[in-house]
Structure 1
Amino acid sequence: MRPLASSRLTALAISAVITLGMAGPAVADESRPSRAATDSAHAPLPDATALLAQTEALGNMGAVTAPVTELLTAVLKADDGQVPAADAEALKAKIKAAVDAAKGTVPAPLPETPAVEAPAVAAPVAPLATGAKAAAPADIVTDALATVEKAVAGLLAAVTSGEATGVVTQVTATLTSLVNLAVATVLGSGLPAADLPGLPTLPTLPVELPVEPPVELPVDPPVQLPVGAKAAAPQLPLPVR
């Protein structure tokens, strides 16, 4: 009886293995995603490039702001606003690296397009003065980074001079440069417009720079002589004897 039972068990085991072996590929095919689903999973998001550039712009602004505010905090907590030279040099290197990295990601300004003459209208429009141009977004961000560099240089000089004179002025200038960078990044990096209720409407770039109108000098009218009158001849000086 035992050999017969063992033979039946063996036969059942072999049948189960064969059944699972045949069903395995079918199950695997059902669980494997289709090629269309795989391609759609790897497809980029719409407008991902523009959104990534905006995200990087905010990241670069934060990367510059962090070491500068670290310097400002150290200065404001130090006695007489004086920072040890070693600490100042370390923060200077961090700020320089952050600013250089931000400069490398600022998009190049668009090439200037030739001016198109507008058709004649009833009311004449005063043209821009020679040399005037619109402020490009990339120029705004680059200029803001330059103001941060300049302000930090002045602050580092003041906080390592050994005197408190001028430290507060340089701290204020550095804070202002960070505000300039924040606003320039918001306006010059194509970020979405703020929609928080209560905020004022921000301008858009490019902005036409103001141009001083030319000053017209007064012109004296010509003197009208009576009819038949002759202009008096100029009096020559008499020779000295």
Structure 2
Amino acid sequence: MRALPVRRIATTVLCASLLIGTAGPVIAAESDSPPSNAQEAARAPVAGADALLAQAKTLGDAGGVLTPVTDLLTAVLKADKGQLPAAEAAKLAEPVKAAITKASAAAPKAPEAPALPQTSTLPEAAALPKAMPDDARAAADPKADALKALQTAVDTLLKAATGGDVAAVAGAVPTVLTGLVNVVAATLLGGGLPAPDLAGLPALPKLPEAKLPAAPNVPQAPALS
């Protein structure tokens, strides 16, 4: 009589084993099955993700410039009389140049204005001005100009910080700080970023628009009699 419970236990274990053996391939098949439409929808990117990623990258590029430049400024301002050993100055200058070069490559290029039609077939046609004057072309790419000016300011600071001229260091540091502010401003104004909405914050100025000069009036050809 004592064998009966043992048989029942063995029978239960056997049934459970058969059930697990039968369900195992089904579970494996379900895990290997392609994702359903609901799963694909859950993995879909955020609406407008490409534009938002571009904005995030724009800020990241600006931040990548700020960090090495501020590291250089901190080292110079903490050094005795603002002087750095040549090796330390070169070590600090390398990431600055790399960051500015990277940000310059990522800066959007200003579109060139289309060439104006030629009027040389008319008699005594007046010469037309350039499609876009140099000053207007420069204003169309403020971020690139700001990055270039910042690199020049950094070079001036490095020269002063390794040349023993304390007065030159004092004059170069504010120029570098202004260059950093210009890079940030150009990034915010020209990077397609959302407008700030902080209460009490003054409105940012708009970038100057490059406009083509008006073409001079061309005299009409005399009518043939």
Match of 2:68 in 1: 67
Distance across 2 between alignment mates of 1:76 and 1:6? 86
Distance across 2 between alignment mates of 1:211 and 1:81? 47
Match of 1:168 in 2: 170
CA contact (8 A) 2:136 2:211 kept: no
**1:6 shift after superposition:** 2.9
In the superposition, the TM-score normalised over structure 2's length comes to: 0.75
Equivalent runs, 1:115-154 vs 2, <5 Å = 131-132=132-133, 139-154=141-156
Whether 1:58 aligns to 2:54 is no
Match of 2:14 in 1: 14
More helix by share: 2
Whether 1:79 aligns to 2:96 is no
**1:96 shift after superposition:** 0.8
How many aligned residue pairs are there? 200
**1:111 shift after superposition:** 4.6
Bigger Rg over Cα: 1
Unaligned runs of 5+ in 1: 116-127, 213-241
- The one-letter code sitting in structure 1 at the alignment partner of 2:185 is V
CA contact (8 A) 2:132 2:212 kept: no
CA contact (8 A) 2:113 2:132 kept: no
CA contact (8 A) 1:135 1:208 kept: no
Change (3 A) 1:137 1:81: same
Change (3 A) 1:113 1:141: same
Match of 1:188 in 2: 190
**1:211 shift after superposition:** 9.9
Unaligned runs of 5+ in 2: 117-128, 214-225
3-state SS of paired residue (1:190): coil
- The one-letter code sitting in structure 1 at the alignment partner of 2:69 is V
Distance across 2 between alignment mates of 1:50 and 1:137? 25
**What is the root-mean-square deviation of aligned Cα atoms in Å?**
3.3
Please list the CA deviations of residues 11-32 of structure 1 after superposition, one character each: whole Å capped at 9, or x if unmatched: 22112223344455379859x8
Between 77-86 and 133-142, the greater mean CA deviation after superposition? 133-142
- The one-letter code sitting in structure 1 at the alignment partner of 2:170 is V
Identity %, equivalent residues: 43
CA contact (8 A) 1:138 1:188 kept: no
CA contact (8 A) 2:83 2:162 kept: yes
- The one-letter code sitting in structure 1 at the alignment partner of 2:203 is T
Distance across 2 between alignment mates of 1:47 and 1:134? 33
- The one-letter code sitting in structure 2 at the alignment partner of 1:41 is A
Distance across 2 between alignment mates of 1:136 and 1:188? 14
Distance across 1 between alignment mates of 2:100 and 2:201? 29
